[in-house]
Amino acid sequence: MRGATHAKWAACAVTVALAATACGGGGSGGGGGDGSGIVSSSWGDPQNPLEPANTNEVQGGKILDMVFRGLKRYDPKTGEAKDMIAESIDTKDAQNFTVKIKDNWKFSNGEKITAKSFVDAWNYGANLKNNQKNAYFFGYIEGYDKVHPEKGDPSAQTLSGLKVVDDKTFTVKLSQKFSTWPDTLGYPAFAPLPKAFYDDHQGWLSKPVGNGPYTVDSYTKGSKMSLRKWDGYPGDDKAQNGGVDMKVYTDNNTAYTDLMAGNLDLVDDVPASQLKNAKNDLGDRYINTPAGIIQTLAFPFYDSKWNKPGKEKVRMGLSRAINREQITETIFQKTRTPASDWTSPVLGEKGGFKEGLCGDACKYDAEQAKKLVEEGGGIPGGTLKVSYNADTGSHKEWVDAVCNSINKALDNDKACVASPIGTFADFRSKASKQELDGAWRAGWQMDYPLIQNFLEPVYFTDAPSNDGKYSDKEFDKLVNEANGETDTNKAIGKFQDAEKILAKDMPAIPLWYQNGSAGYSDKVSDVSLNQFSVPVYNEIKVN
Amino acid sequence: MGRYVIRRLLQMIPVFIGATLLIFLMVNVMGDPVAGLCGDRKCDPATAAQLKKEFGLDKPVWQQYLTYMGNVFTGDFGTAFNGQKVTELMSAAFPVTIRLTIVAIVFEIVIGISLGVLTGLRRGRPVDTVVLLLTLVVISIPTFVTGLVLQLLLGVQWGVIKPSVSSEAPFNELLIPGLVLASVSLAYVTRLTRTSIAENRRADYVRTAVAKGLPRRRVITRHLLRNSLIPVVTFIGTDVGALMGGAIVTERIFNIHGVGFQLYQGILRQSTQTVVGFVTVLVLVFLVANLIVDLLYAVLDPRIRYA
């Protein structure tokens, strides 16, 4: 029968196709337990060019954490800022600091690290002309307003508060007292830069040279970066593996599938849809640990309807109408913890985290919720709109759940509605221009594990991330006092006092603390996430 | 023929300008892209202003469009937000997507047309019914379901393929993604060919060819198939553009860093330069593919003349 030959032919084509694809499979870099094995890890395409002062998101930050070391480094377990390149950072008045650096540090291209490596890098980062998105990190240093004016061209090229004393010493003068400032220096923006960075900027960007435990072996933008262990690394946190291959995934579901199929060693962002299975699929190889991220619902204080005395009762009522336990359990599969203050558990008790500081206001109680909202004169406009960006992060699910919870507690179908905004950029644009009415999802990912970082940038009058324009004199005063306090414990106490004002005013409803979730293959061990939910790559061992 | 081609090429210019302008406006309507660059915090106003200046976002839209088009004609597609030239992104993404499209088109042609001929010649027989049912199933299942199921079965369960395509994306790794991408079109090609063949089978020229005593193979390939291919070629031609632009779903599932991935990324980050640049090239591909289809008609049917 002639037809049969046709069918056979088609079947053959498919068989050949399958067979050929199978041939395409191959092993990845091997290596035994001798520390030479290569770890393959999922990665996202960094949004900005990879420069220390220009990287403000996790994907680029991961690389900086491997390629750079700064004056300080946050201990991946405790979050404590420990001296790395810094020999000592001394101050008498919480405003003038003398930084001494260690002798034996160099960049992977052989260049020695001197005080100038830091001062030049910071000047570069702060200068408006260089478009660095993290420039505001240098905002505490004197002379910042000259090199980074709010309007017009800079009138100075260097920060007047930075002075090189000798090869190993430089001094920093801040424009205000800030006792915990040295602890902020673990942030990648403060990393030193080699001469090559300024001499051949494009070349440097295509293959960054740093001073961390890894060097960049090859970098194909948008798809892959191979990092290899740097044998000459002088630090004591040397890489325990031969290198890391970072592979960009179009979708974290595919990364998870690749992990399941044994093609990938580490996924540091388990997709929401797989959270249910992750525990079964991976067992002990599923990590779910707290990260320095808190989610809140922020309110528009620029809108007079929300900024009236008595409305704090409405906000408190809304807070009490949200069943945090239920939502974190059912929607987030316990990868979130109900929040009861405005910081994060990663700070630890010593660092200023205080469970329950929010008090009853963060406890679910439908009856009280209803009473409080009524006492406060009801929700302005009758309906609370909760805005979120619909493009990434699957926010729809939990915003709907929060609204359901509020509607149920207040016994009113129209008390809360979700209001999606197309893209993250548009959402951020509306939020930062005070164009949102009603509440919106606000997330805060810490820059450094300090209680100051959870409060000042978000709730201080006119602070950069105070999108709701909340303002309270007492709060500002306490934060300033805390910053001027040289005794760390006292400073933290003051910050907590300031936080208690938030508990009274409820400028933003704390929802939950976010965890970092990751999964890894049985080919690797010693995998953990730090407080920024970034894997501690240098500690990973390949079996 | 030459004049026809020139006329068609000239007609492309207004289509091209109109399409790019529309896309430009659409991306601009989405709001301020710089706000998204600083993450969950507000960009400090000075840096934001500086960035806007650098990307030309501080000027009115019509001026942006004119500058943009001026640059495009000199081969400069601007810079994406991550500091890469859009041309650089294109040179990385297009070869991958073109390979994927070639795989898909080959599947469409080989499997689609052979199944179409097979069923067209045996209308009403069991083979025909089975293939018709199969194509119906394929058409009614969305691509992402087919993709995910194949990925799970072949990639994870049976380990026949790697679930994700490596960054080099060689042909052999693109076979399954190509098949998934082609699946729906493949079903249409089968059905189109089948109908066309079945219709022409009773045509006079086929009867003549059979009466002349030509071998059956020759009757089918030279007479029947050639005349039946016109609608199929039209479909495949337009499908080239559709496959290249519409590969987003497939590319996402199989981690292929092609045009779909770059477009998706560009839209998420509201990078006007990336989105407009890629769509501009896609519009060109579409137009050229259509032109080639029209020219192919004359090859298939010499009665068609161009003036």
In the chain, the amino acid numbered B281 is V
Flag whether pLDDT at A251 surpasses 70: yes
Residues 6+ apart with CB under 8 A from B18: none
Average pLDDT, chain A: 89
Among A3, A445, A213, smallest CA distance to B40 is for A445
pLDDT tens figures, A187-207: 999 999 999 999 999 999 999
In this prediction, residue A18 carries a pLDDT of 43
Q: What is the CATH number of domain A39-229?
A: 3.90.76.10
In this prediction, residue A192 carries a pLDDT of 96
Interface subset of B 193-232, CB within 8 angstroms of A: none
In this prediction, residue A22 carries a pLDDT of 38
* ipTM of the modeled complex: 0.85
In this prediction, residue B169 carries a pLDDT of 85
In this prediction, residue A43 carries a pLDDT of 93
pLDDT tens figures, B72-117: 888 888 888 888 889 999 999 999 999 999 999 999 999 999 999 9
- The angle formed by the CA atoms of residues A445, A393 and A425, to the nearest 5 degrees, is 75
DSSP letter at A138 equals G
Is some CB atom of chain B closer than 8 A to the CB atom of A429? yes
Rounded-to-integer distance, Cα A134 and Cα A452, Å = 17
In this prediction, residue A161 carries a pLDDT of 95
**Mean pLDDT score, A46-63:** 90
Residues from chain A contacting residue B268 (CB–CB below 8 Å): 391-392, 423-424
In this prediction, residue B307 carries a pLDDT of 60
Find the range with the poorest average confidence among A10-24, A80-94, A230-244, B166-180. Answer: A10-24
Contacts 24+ apart (CB under 8 A), A32-35: A32/A542, A33/A541, A33/A542, A33/A543, A35/A229, A35/A239, A35/A240, A35/A241, A35/A242, A35/A541, A35/A542
Helix axes A366-375, A395-410, angle to 10 degrees: 80
Rounded-to-integer distance, Cα A265 and Cα A106, Å = 31
Whether A85 and A68 have beta carbons less than 8 Å apart is answered as no
**Mean pLDDT score, B6-16:** 89
User: Across the strands, what pairs with A288?
Assistant: A517
DSSP letter at B110 equals I
Structure token pair of residue A51: 């420069």
Chains A, B: CB contacts within 8 A come to: 210
The 3-state DSSP class for residue B294 equals helix
pLDDT band at A23 (very low <50, low <70, confident <90, very high): very low
Flag whether pLDDT at A228 surpasses 60: yes
The answer to whether the CB atoms of A425 and B31 lie below 8 A apart is: yes
Flag whether pLDDT at A139 surpasses 70: yes
Q: How far is B29 from chain A (nearest CA, A)?
A: 10
DSSP letter at B154 equals I
Rounded-to-integer distance, Cα A65 and Cα A201, Å = 20
pLDDT tens figures, A295-347: 999 999 999 999 988 899 999 999 999 999 999 999 888 889 999 999 999 99
Rounded-to-integer distance, Cα A463 and Cα A460, Å = 5
A86 membership: H or E segment, kind and range: strand A86-91
The answer to whether the CB atoms of B40 and A254 lie below 8 A apart is: no
Alpha helices per DSSP H over A137-226: 144-147, 195-199, 201-206
Find the range with the poorest average confidence among A83-92, A257-266, A279-288, B268-277. Answer: B268-277
Residues 6+ apart with CB under 8 A from A10: B110, B111, B114, B115
Flag whether pLDDT at A8 surpasses 80: no
**Mean pLDDT score, A222-235:** 93
Every domain of chain A with CATH number 3.90.76.10 lies at 39-229
Q: Out of 3.40.50.720, 3.10.105.10, 3.40.50.2300, 3.90.320.10, which CATH number does the structure's domain A290-516 have?
A: 3.10.105.10
Residue to test with chain B: of A50, A132, A223, most B Cβ within 10 A: A223
Is some CB atom of chain B closer than 8 A to the CB atom of A435? no
pLDDT tens figures, B147-183: 999 999 998 888 888 888 888 888 888 999 999 999 9
Is some CB atom of chain A closer than 8 A to the CB atom of B82? yes
Every domain of chain A with CATH number 3.10.105.10 lies at 290-516
User: What domains can be seen in chain B, in order of their start residue?
Assistant: 86-304 (1.10.3720.10)
Residues from chain B contacting residue A431 (CB–CB below 8 Å): 35, 42
Q: How far is B122 from chain A (nearest CA, A)?
A: 9
Interface subset of A 228-257, CB within 8 angstroms of B: 247-251, 253-255, 257
Structure token pair of residue B216: 């059956």
